[in-house]
Amino acid sequence: MPKSYLTILIIAILIGIGLIFYFLGPFGKPKIGSNEAALIINYGETKRAFIGEVIEGMTISDALLVSAKAGNFDFDAEEGILKRIGQFEQNEKKWNAYLNGTKIGDSLNKIFIKAKDKIELKFE
């Protein structure tokens, strides 16, 4: 194989690997499908993100529940008010919920979500 071909092949492979990392790896930005929503848990110094399908009548509490199942963490909420996620139990800091950047003051059980919504739970 001529050297020039080998060089081109190596470059192509590197480009392909880069593209794979860009779209699928930790450096890629996940895409939210047209019928999906996202939930981001912001622990302060770290974050976790979840996406999935939105069905009719689905609430923020439901989104947290399916995210917990996907992320293998547990949480406590009373009357739709979030008290704890994993080891992060509110004490001096509290768990606040934002929907598309707007703070939610109501019970999470009562807030319905729709496709393309972005939910963020901040421990702050």
CB nearer to other proteins: pick between 5 and 52:
52
Strand order in the sheet with 81-85: 75-78, 81-85, 88-89
Can you tell me which of 1, 2, 29, 101 binds other proteins, judged by CB under 8 A? 29
- Interface residue with other proteins among 2, 55, 101, 102 (CB under 8 A) is 55
Q: What pairs with residue 40 in β-bridges?
A: 49, 120
Instruction: Give the strand pairing for 118-123 and 36-42.
Output: parallel
Minimum distance from residue 54 beta carbon to other proteins (Å): 8
- Residues near 102 by beta carbon (within 8 Å), at least 6 away in sequence: none
For other proteins, the binding residues (CB under 8 A) are 26, 28-30, 38-40, 46-55, 58, 61-63, 65-71, 74-78, 80, 109
